[in-house]
Structure 1
Amino acid sequence: MANAALFEFLARIGDNTLILGHRVSEWCGHSPALEEDIALSNTALDLIGQTQLWLGLAGEVEGKGRSADDLAYLRDGYDFRNILLVERPNGDFGKTLMRQFLFDAWHYLLLRALKGSSDQRIAEIAEKAFKEVSYHLDRSRDLVIRLGDGTAESHRRMQAALDDLWPFTGEMFMSDGLDTELVEEGIIPAPESLKAGWDEIVAETLAEGTLKKPADGYMHKGGRRGVHTEHLGFILTEMQFLQRAYPGATW
């Protein structure tokens, strides 16, 4: 059970960075400015690099000989454990930034806590990823403020993005029996323990960006437990095409 719980956690966090990294990479060559094109591409690379570490460790813990590549490219949709937020379509530039900010604020707090994990392997990955995610949060927070408190049009778009994405944020703070087991062993923080810090970061950012926090009342559809929207199917079709079309291809 201990290995099963640990594998599940590693798959959850690795799938989050994998799916969001792919989503963000879709902006490569399509961003509104060259600087943003480079910045988003670098963010995507950071997330994919983190995925390799998390899913690599997941494969090791599982003990079935599966590599990070196997877990990323050879699983079907119902085996993915990411939260629904990271599946959401990019939409316009403002929506992509808002999705990134809401995730970054949570990701930052999770990694900060994981640096103190009783599992040294997790602590080491968290230490490395935390430096990257600290920058991600600084950047996404700054842009949310600038666009929220910018023109009437940028403000409208950022508020619309926030209203659309907000119902998907509650899943980040939900826990189950597998989480409880790992929390008791000091491996991970209790998911709900991150909410107060996340609320504080988000509230301060929205206030500076003159954006209105939507009413609470989170929606949860169990994304990380294998119930996804149709968006994941489209992502996997693109992401897994090469491996599915040419199994075991190397170059």
Structure 2
Amino acid sequence: KIAGDKRTEDDIAMLRQEREYLNVLLVEQPDTDFAYTMARQFLFDVYHFLFLAELQKSTDLTLSAIAKKSIKEVSYHQRFSSDWIKRLGDGTEESHKRMQTAINDLWTYTDELFHQTEADKAMVKEGIGVDVTKLKEAYYKNVSDILEESTLEVPESKYFQKGGKQGIHSEHMGYILAELQYMQRAYPNMEW
């Protein structure tokens, strides 16, 4: 009971209200088509790899161990999504156009990856968490390098969406939660 109360893992995962989920808006964007799916995955994978690389240094031995164990898998995901970005970006005229559109549309959600909440700041201060603000330069360099190799342009937009880390979500979050929480809401107290 990590939360210190009577809630189970299922309660925490499936029975919270929308505002109780604290995630970046990027991960709740819909799978419009394969280009969007791969672009969203790529933009998150680059961040996730950098994050885990730093989390390995955590003073919390459990978090450090999880990061060390996970980074190999995340490295694979980053390679996989990067390969698709290259394949579609430098592919046909149609695949290039679709991938550029997806990157352009999802770009506005990338800056939130580097925003710190008060909890993030407290975790950094204790040596437990990752200072995500220090990942920003490497992130945009890595992403830009892959986009350039893929013959895709780095979006010039300076406007970025944020709010997910504070529980303010896009309209897509409701659909995700409706699917995630259906069984627990339809059959209360169901045990798996």
Call closer, same or farther: CA 1:146–1:82 in 2, change over 3 Å: same
Q: 1:83 aligns with which of 17, 21, 24?
A: 24
1:190 and 2:158 equivalent?
Answer: no
Instruction: Compute the displacement of 1:155 (Å).
Output: 0.2
Counterparts of 2:128 and 2:83, CA distance in 1: 32
SS of residue matched to 2:141:
helix
Amino acid corresponding to residue 121 of structure 1 in structure 2: T
Instruction: Compute the displacement of 1:130 (Å).
Output: 1.3
- Equivalent positions of 1:83-102 (< 5 A) are 83-102=24-43
Contact 2:23-2:164 at 8 Å conserved across structures: yes
Instruction: Compute the displacement of 1:133 (Å).
Output: 0.8
> For structure 1, which runs of at least 5 residues remain unmatched after alignment?
1-58
Contact 1:168-1:218 at 8 Å conserved across structures: no
Q: Which moved more, 1:190-199 or 1:158-167?
A: 190-199
Instruction: Compute the displacement of 1:248 (Å).
Output: 2.0
Which residue of structure 2 aligns with residue 113 of structure 1? 54
TM-score by length of 1: 0.74
Contact 1:117-1:186 at 8 Å conserved across structures: yes
Any idea what the Cα deviations from partners look like across 1:17-44, whole Å, max 9, x if unmatched?
xxxxxxxxxxxxxxxxxxxxxxxxxxxx
Counterparts of 1:188 and 1:94, CA distance in 2: 32
Larger RCO, structure (CA 8 Å, separation 6 or more): 2
Any idea what the Cα deviations from partners look like across 1:141-200, whole Å, max 9, x if unmatched?
011011100000000000000000000111000113322221111111211101111112
> For structure 2, which runs of at least 5 residues remain unmatched after alignment?
none
Instruction: Compute the displacement of 1:67 (Å).
Output: 2.9
Amino acid corresponding to residue 145 of structure 1 in structure 2: K
Which residue of structure 2 aligns with residue 201 of structure 1? 142
1:221 and 2:162 equivalent?
Answer: yes
Q: 2:184 aligns with which of 220, 243, 251?
A: 243
Q: How many residues were matched structurally? A: 192
Q: 1:67 aligns with which of 8, 18, 24?
A: 8
Instruction: Compute the displacement of 1:229 (Å).
Output: 1.3
1:150 and 2:67 equivalent?
Answer: no
1:232 and 2:191 equivalent?
Answer: no
Q: CA RMSD in A?
A: 1.3
Counterparts of 1:115 and 1:68, CA distance in 2: 24
Counterparts of 1:191 and 1:113, CA distance in 2: 9
* Structure 1 moving runs of 4+ over 6 Å: none
Which residue of structure 2 aligns with residue 34 of structure 1? none
Contact 1:170-1:218 at 8 Å conserved across structures: no
Q: 1:125 aligns with which of 52, 59, 66?
A: 66
Instruction: Compute the displacement of 1:216 (Å).
Output: 4.2
Instruction: Compute the displacement of 1:98 (Å).
Output: 0.3
- The structure carrying a bigger helix percent of its residues is 1
SS of residue matched to 1:135:
helix
Counterparts of 1:152 and 1:195, CA distance in 2: 31
Instruction: Compute the displacement of 1:218 (Å).
Output: 3.7
Counterparts of 1:216 and 1:117, CA distance in 2: 34
Counterparts of 1:116 and 1:196, CA distance in 2: 19
Identical positions, percent:
47
